Structure 1
Amino acid sequence: MYKVIIVDDEAVVRDGLKRTIDWNAHGFELIGDYANGREAWEAIELTLPDLVISDISMPFMDGLELAGAVADAYPYIKMIILTGFDEFEYAQQAIRLKVSDFVLKPITAHEIRDLLLKVKQEMDEETQSHEDLSRLYNQLKQSMPLLKERFLERLVVNGIRNSEMEERFAYFGIRPLTPPYLIMVADIDDFGIRQIRDNGHDTEILRYAAFNLLEEISLRENLMLFRTREERMVLIVTGESEESALYERAFRIAEEARHFIEKYLKFTVTIGVGQTCEMPEQLTLSYKSAISALDYRFLLGKNRVLSILDMEARPSFPDQPRADWDRKLASAVKTGSLQDIHQLIRELVIDLKKSLVPMDACLLQIQKVLLSLLNTIQELGLQDYRPILLTDVYRFKTLDEIEVWLIDTLTAVMTAIADNRNHFTLTQVRKAVDYIETNYADEKMSLQDICRHVLMSTSYFSLVFKQHTSETFVEYLTRTRMEKAKEMLQHTSLKFYEIAAKVGYGDPNYFSILFKKHAGITPREFRDNHAKESSQ
């Protein structure tokens, strides 16, 4: 069942479409109807419909403006334009915006049904093309050679010499990298409603289906894509001159990939976005930070885009690779899993006891653990936190005493990490609030502007902003503008259209509608009531 909304400023048209069309019978669920493009745009951002049927001539935002916004932000949403204007320039603009159909009014119910049938067939064919596992399995045999994938994996995991890099790039026909660049790592959460047979072939086909979808995006965006031995999918993102623009592009691509995989393949992935770097030999650092971002899936849940900038205030990277046990401990410390930490410490102590090595060797092993822990603390931006000294181990006489001390110490460390992370998140939210308070008069202010300002992905910012303010970005911005408008109505003699412009609304009628919705009365009634109260 595909989701559809109707946008037309004539109530009779909207009511007619709702009453005369059996939407469910045609494979659609009508989830809303709206009187202007601006209301529809806000609804689209929240509900992400599959199809929008819109008139052209509407107040506040017309149909072509709405189509342009949809095409830029959500290119997978289909648009049908209904219009009473038989002008060639409108049709030309609709074609440029990749509108699915441009239909002249009046249109009969029969014509609408035929139109819905046509659009549904197109949608079904697109879905089928992505779900055709037999076709995808045949394409699997013609995928990128294994040697090329292993080379790219070695490039980002271990690093290679510049001379070898240039030689291999030429051999595999890979274009030179243009800085800055960053790594994104996509990992399948699970296969959702898919039933996987015991032979494992379906698992491989579904993995390739996800890779094939990412490959379509990477070809369109001119990115580099490969798979690792752990069945993760890695994207090297380049093509921007500024770091902020590169992050913004990475977030957009990651959100699009996550949405498409869930929509067409019916399972989910989580994508970690790493730190930017300027030199090819630093790709290993960006890859490690992307993997670190993925580790937070345990804390925040599946089907997300997780950026290292969202997770850690001041990420840095150790010079030497850690052993597997140290990596697991670092991951447990980052995600705040006390149960995993207790288990890992217990395993370490048991192994040391079984090994029967001398006490000095045991203490040296514990000190290596402490050194790894100190690196993790620094990596998480707690450079001034120094509760641990390597010489502390000499205060104890048994491994059991050290075990208890390690658990207590790590509990204190995790408390400090949580406080630091909460402080950083709160700081970014306050920064966003300050930006709104300063720029509320900007009519074009958007969620993307805020996220670009605080360098956060839209999904994570929306989550933490609602947690800290109890309002969405749109709700907070609207309330701020209304409060500023009330102040002006009370303390100035500005005309209503002047006040509307000063709080970010170019259209005074739309301002009046929102004001009444917020305050329960019109701006004029609000000013008159205040004047009466002041005179008493």
Structure 2
Amino acid sequence: MYKVIIVDDEAVVRIGLKNTIDWGAHGFELIGDYANGREAWEAVEQHRPELVISDISMPFMDGLELAGLIAAQYPYIKTIILTGFDEFEYAQQAIRLKVSDFILKPITAQEIRLLLDRVRTEMDEDTKHREDLGRLNSQLKQSLPLLQERFLERLVAVGLGKAEIAERFAYFGMSQAGPLHLVMVVDIDDFGDRELFSYEHDAEFLRFAAFDIFKETLEPDNALLFRTREERMVAILSGQENESLLIEQAFSLAEKVRYHIEKYLKFTVTIGIGRACAHIELLPDSYKGALSVLDYRFLLGKNRVLSIIDMEGKPTSPLPPNLDWDRKLASAVKTGSIQEAFQLIENGISELKSSMAPIEACFLQMQKVVLSLMNSIQELVVHDQEVSFNRQMRLMDVYGFKTLDEIEGWLKDVVRSVMSTIADNRSHLTNMQIHRAVEYIETNYSNDKMSLQDLCRHVLMSTSYFSLVFKQHTGETFIEYLTAVRITKAKELLHNTTLKFYEIAEQVGYKDPNYFSILFKKHTGTTPKDYREKQVKESGA
């Protein structure tokens, strides 16, 4: 069964549709009928129906405004507009709002039944389409090239473990040739004299053409190729047993790519070649070198093939293989994963031990870790706690430890304390933001334009997260809470002043006094007039 609501300010239309249509026989459950768009929007937010059948001309909020809200926030809900206005501009607006159908009144019960059957068929087909595993498998196969590109980008950008690399290579049918590996990065300098400012698709076409030349040149050498999200072209070369031979091969291929792109596409590229590495999981070092050498374009000019070894020479001392675990540790601390943080500390210390790196290199690595943690603290905790932790993690303190095991224990203690404080700080911050939101509502309830978006901008929270925590803290949605405040203020004005009802409505944020009266009775069980008279009688008694 699909849930449906009816919205029409004519009671006879709503009653007629409710009583003359066997909704269940057509696959629908009628969960409500509403006299205006505002009430209907509240129902949509609460019940999330699959279908909304609405009139256009209604008080407080018309059908097209309602359809616009639905299209913006719940695009999966189908909307059908019923109207007596046979005007082209309404049809145009309905099309822009992605309304499913636009039906002219009067409409017979038989036409409604046929309409429901058609909409149900469309919904059934959509459901079947989403659940069609064969289609999903087909889409997966179509996505494999992109998935492979993203895997290769992760492989060179952040590094992966041996097990995951072996699994992914087998999945994509790729070979881990060896024994040496090297990364080459191609970056487009510019597009020459072409005018591309107004034709971004031309730029994309030229990038595609450049990558096609890149593939034709390198694929015969069994290179692994992909494009990054920064529009660079990357190749992983493998297979030589001698570093000089692999670099020579890379230079030869890079020069062919550079030459052919300049000759056939009439623009230039700069190509960076990283250092060779003996293990595929160390490719990030080669990739970083290839990216780093591209910076020398600033000094040497465009349209060149550059090697990191030519620019910066070979490393003078062995370094531990995974020197970016400080960044990963800071990320784990921010996300609250204490097990992941401890595992990263253990792995990092273990790598330092096995690398046999000089003690000064180990101390420098520890200082990087401390700096990353201090940056996390500055971002996520209040000032007094930040000062306390900064004292606890002075950069020079690492020199006071005699073993890496002592440093490991110290780091775990600091991380445990930091993560506990961050969790407490987040809870405190959320409470403060909700308090600010309540104060904002209490102060600005008379503003008839007040919206959830305005409130979220005031407290610097996203609408989705705010709605979640506001309901958790107050037990009510934003609209429910705002309405309760406005009704309470209206009661006070009715009891303590002689203001007219329309004046009270305006003072509590409702420009339409009729809508205010309807809402007041809905929440109090009595009209504003009866409420005032009752208060007067009770005061006199």
Classify 1:420/1:139 alpha carbon distance in 2 versus 1 (closer, same or farther; 3 Å): closer
1:278 is aligned to none
- Relative to structure 1, is the Cα distance of residues 139 and 405 closer, same or farther in structure 2, using a 3 angstrom cutoff? closer
> What is the alpha-carbon distance in structure 2 between the residues aligned to residue 433 and residue 326 of structure 1?
40
- The equivalent of 1:39 in structure 2 is 39
Q: Deviations over 1:208-265 (max 9, x none)?
A: xxxxxxxxxxxxxxxx999999xxxxxxxxxxxxxxxxxxxxxxxxxxxxxxxxxxxx
SS at match of 1:521: coil
Q: What's the offset of the Cα at 1:338? A: 2.3
User: Is the alpha carbon distance of 1:417 and 1:87 closer, same or farther for their aligned partners in structure 2, counting shifts above 3 Å?
Assistant: closer
Please state if 1:412 is matched with 2:417.
yes
Distance in 2, matches of 1:459 and 1:169, equals: 46
2:191 is the alignment partner of 1:167: yes
Alignment partners' CA distance in 2, 1:434 and 1:175: 49
- In the alignment, structure 1 residue 458 sits paired with structure 2 residue 463: yes
Residue in structure 2 matched with residue 445 of structure 1 by the alignment: 450
1:525 matched residue in structure 2: 530
Please name the residue that 1:342 is paired with. Answer: 342
Q: Report what 2:17 is aligned to.
A: 17
**Alpha-carbon distance in structure 2 between the residues aligned to 1:138 and 1:128:** 15
Separation in structure 1 between the aligned mates of residue 231 and residue 490 of structure 2, nearest angstrom: 53
Deviation, 1:95, is: 5.7
In the aligned structure 1, how far is the partner of 2:446 from the partner of 2:535? 24
Q: CA deviation at 1:396?
A: 3.8
The answer for the alignment partner of 2:395 in structure 1 is 390
- Name the CA distance, whole Å, in 2 between partners of 1:534 and 1:53: 47
Amino acid at match of 1:14: R
Contact 2:506/2:513 (<8 A) preserved? yes
Instruction: Measure the CA separation in 1 of the matches of 2:77 and 2:68.
Output: 11
Does structure 2 retain, via aligned residues, the 8 Å contact 1:169–1:176?
no
CA–CA separation in structure 2 for the residues paired with 1:169 and 1:483: 68
Q: Which has the higher contact order (CA 8 A, sep 6+)?
A: 1
**Alpha-carbon distance between aligned partners in 2 of 1:508 and 1:84, rounded to the nearest angstrom:** 27
In 2, distance between residues paired with 1:225 and 1:125? 39
> Which runs of 5 or more residues in structure 2 are unaligned?
159-184, 204-228, 235-321
Structure-1-length-normalised TM-score: 0.60
Residue 66 of structure 2: aligned partner: 66
CA distance in 1, matches of 2:125, 2:324: 46
Q: Output the CA distance in 1 between the equivalents of 2:474 and 2:61.
A: 29
Structure 1 residues 210-225: aligned runs within 5 Å: none
Instruction: Describe the SS at the equivalent of 2:191.
Output: helix
Aligned residues: 396
Distance 1:165 1:480, change over 3 A: farther
For the residue of structure 2 that corresponds to 1:442, the secondary structure is coil
Deviations along 1:254-282, one digit per CA (max 9) or x if unpaired, are xxxxxxxxxxxxxxxxxxxxxxxxxxxxx
Q: What amino acid maps onto 2:103 in structure 1?
A: V
CA distance in 2, matches of 1:421, 1:79: 40
Contact preservation (8 Å) 2:452, 2:463: yes
User: Which residues of 2 match residues 423-434 of structure 1 at below 5 A?
Assistant: 423-434=428-439
- Is 1:503 the counterpart of 2:508 in the alignment? yes
Residue of structure 1 equivalent to 2:521: 516
Rounded to whole Å, the distance in 1 between the matches of 2:351 and 2:361 is 13
- C-alpha change, 1:378 and 1:165, in structure 2 (3 Å) is farther
- Which amino acid in structure 2 is aligned with residue 111 of structure 1? E
- Which runs of structure 2 are paired with 1:2-401 in the superposition (5 Å)? 2-11=2-11, 13-83=13-83, 94=94, 97-124=97-124, 164=188, 166-167=190-191, 174=200, 323-354=323-354, 362-380=362-380, 384-385=386-387, 386=390, 387-401=392-406
Instruction: Give, as a single letter, the amino acid of the residue that structure 2 aligns with 1:507.
Output: D
- Cα RMSD between the aligned structures? 4.6
**Comparing 40-49 with 122-131, which one deviates more in the overlay?**
122-131
CA gap 1:524/1:414 in 2 versus in 1, 3 angstroms: same
User: Residue 434 and residue 136 in structure 1: after superposition, are their counterparts in 2 closer, same or farther (change >3 A)?
Assistant: same
CA positional deviation for 1:342: 2.8
Contact persistence 2:6–2:54 (CA under 8 A): yes
**Per-residue deviation at 1:485?**
1.3
Q: 1:135 to 1:532 in 2, by over 3 A?
A: closer
2:53 match: secondary structure: strand
Q: Identity of aligned pairs, percent?
A: 67
Distance 1:169 1:506, change over 3 A: farther
Question: Are 1:468 and 2:473 counterparts?
Answer: yes
Q: 2:491 aligns with which of 486, 492, 498?
A: 486
Shift of residue 47, structure 1, vs aligned partner: 3.3
AA aligned to 2:37 is G
Change (3 A) 1:452 1:359: closer
Equivalent-residue separation in structure 2 for 1:348 and 1:92 (angstroms): 62
Give the letter aligned to residue 535 of structure 2: H
Partner amino acid, structure 2, of 1:505: Y
2:440 is equivalent to residue 435 of structure 1: yes
How many angstroms apart in 1 are the aligned matches of 2:192 and 2:23? 56
Q: 1: CA distance between counterparts of 2:201 and 2:5?
A: 43
TM-score, normalised relative to structure 2? 0.60
Stretches of structure 1 lacking an aligned partner (at least 5 in a row): 178-223, 230-321
SS in 2 for 1:167: coil
In 2, Cα distance between equivalents of 1:46 and 1:17: 22
Asked if the contact 2:188/2:232 (under 8 Å) is kept, the reply is: no
1:52-85 per-position Cα deviation (integer Å, ceiling 9, x unaligned): 1123444433434433443455455332233456
Question: Aligned AA for 1:517?
Answer: K
8 A contact 1:501–1:508 mirrored in 2: yes
Shift of 1:140: 8.6
- AA of the residue aligned to 1:470: G
Q: Measure, in 1, the Cα distance between the counterparts of 2:376 and 2:16.
A: 63
| Partner AA of 2:35 in structure 1 | A
Q: Secondary structure at the match of 1:504?
A: coil
Name the CA distance, whole Å, in 2 between partners of 1:526 and 1:323.
72
